């Protein structure tokens, strides 16, 4: 089995991202920052948050589906807010997407919020709503639970431990426990927006999980497109039941401001 985890950055690097996905042979894709604007007439919209302005691919979810025709898609929206087309606002959904190859049975899943709840009237104030998707697949003659998350962003606290992040990981653990049976393998991945020494990762490791980014000695998970200090954001953890054949943090080609995490197991 092969799994890719990536914060896809709203499709900002669409021209590099889509060909890479088409060529990628993964059975499971866990993608964060996916845009879905049903019926949009334009290819590009603009996200505006104060001085932070970013191009976003309007029909990104549809384009991901087209790039991965042999996979089923589950979209988990965090919020419906507005993107901009010049001086016009366009309602747009934003969240997580999980893709599983059609030959990999999904035998259970839980979708829930680990911070706040669904926001239908805008993206809201920071830190914003955050969903998680936990799904159970039949892989290599045994069940494996995969959990993906996009951890909350808190401009005032940076990546430091906060009560909100403590509550977030507690809710994530609850979603995992609701689906995982004894003996199931477990993979937890995503853009956690925390440092390697965080309470979040400490609590996940207490389940007996190994964190493969730091264990592998990688210098970070951000590409050159990210110019701020702090190179860690994305992590991938596995239980003892997961036999890791290969793990890598891919720095080239640049398809986002985050690096893809690639696991073969």
197: domain CATH number? 3.60.10.10
- Both structure tokens of 204: 């996940």
Q: CA 77 → CA 32, 94, 172, distances in Å?
A: 10, 5, 16
Q: What pLDDT was estimated at residue 39?
A: 81
Q: What CA–CA distances, in Å, run from 202 to 62, 101, 169, 195, 208?
A: 37, 31, 10, 11, 10
Rounded-to-integer distance, Cα 217 and Cα 211, Å? 11
pTM attached to this predicted model: 0.98
Alpha-carbon distances, residue 150 vs 88, 183, 185 (angstroms):
28, 26, 21
Q: What is the pLDDT of residue 136?
A: 98
Q: What is the pLDDT of residue 140?
A: 79
Burial class (CB in 10 A: 0-12, 13-18, 19+), 178: exposed
Position 224 scores a pLDDT of 96
CA dihedral 7, 214, 158, 208 (to 10 degrees): 90
Give me the domain span that covers residue 22: 2-264
What spatial distance separates the first Cα and last Cα of the chain, rounded to whole Å? 5
Residue 80 near residue 92 (C-beta atoms within 8 A): yes
Q: Give the residues across from 4 on adjacent strands.
A: 29, 262
Residue holding tokens 């073969």?
Answer: 264
Specify the residue for token string 């990628």: 24
Three-state DSSP state, 183: coil
**What's residue 141's pLDDT?**
86
Query: What residues have CB less than 8 Å from 226, skipping those under 6 apart?
Result: 257, 258
Rounded to 5 degrees, φ, ψ at 215 are -60, -35
Report how many domains make up the chain. 1
Half-sphere exposure of 198 (CA within 13 A, CB side): 27
**188: β partners:** 147, 237
Per the CB < 8 A criterion, the answer to whether 193 and 159 are in contact is yes
Pick out the chain residues at pLDDT < 50: none
The sign of the torsion formed by the CA atoms of 239, 244, 250, 255 equals negative
Q: Alpha helices of 1-85 — where are they, by DSSP H?
A: 14-23, 60-67
Tokens 């839980």 map to which residue? 110
């Amino acid at each position: 089995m092969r799994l890719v985890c990536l914060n896809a950055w709203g499709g900002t690097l669409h021209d590099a991202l889509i060909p890479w996905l088409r060529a990628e042979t993964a059975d499971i894709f866990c993608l964060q920052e996916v845009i879905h604007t049903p019926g949009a007439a334009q290819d590009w919209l603009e996200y505006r948050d104060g001085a932070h302005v970013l191009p976003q691919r309007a029909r990104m979810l549809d384009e991901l589906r087209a790039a991965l025709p042999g996979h089923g898609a589950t979209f988990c929206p965090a919020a419906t807010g507005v993107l901009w087309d010049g001086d016009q606002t366009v309602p747009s959904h934003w969240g997580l997407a999980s893709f599983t190859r059609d030959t990999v049975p999904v035998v259970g899943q839980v979708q829930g919020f680990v911070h706040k709840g669904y926001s239908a009237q805008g993206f809201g104030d920071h830190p914003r709503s955050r969903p998680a998707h936990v799904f159970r697949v039949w892989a290599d003659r045994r069940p494996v639970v995969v959990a993906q998350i996009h951890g909350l962003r808190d401009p005032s606290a940076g990546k430091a431990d906060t009560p909100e992040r403590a509550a977030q990981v507690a809710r994530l653990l609850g979603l995992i426990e609701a689906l995982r049976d004894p003996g199931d393998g477990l993979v937890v991945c995503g853009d956690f927006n925390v440092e390697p020494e965080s309470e979040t990762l400490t609590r996940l490791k207490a389940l007996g999980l190994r964190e493969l980014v730091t264990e592998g000695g990688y210098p970070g998970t951000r590409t050159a497109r990210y110019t701020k200090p702090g190179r860690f954001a994305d992590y991938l953890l596995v239980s003892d039941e997961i036999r890791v054949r290969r793990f890598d943090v891919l720095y080239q080609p640049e398809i986002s401001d985050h690096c893809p995490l690639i696991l073969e197991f």
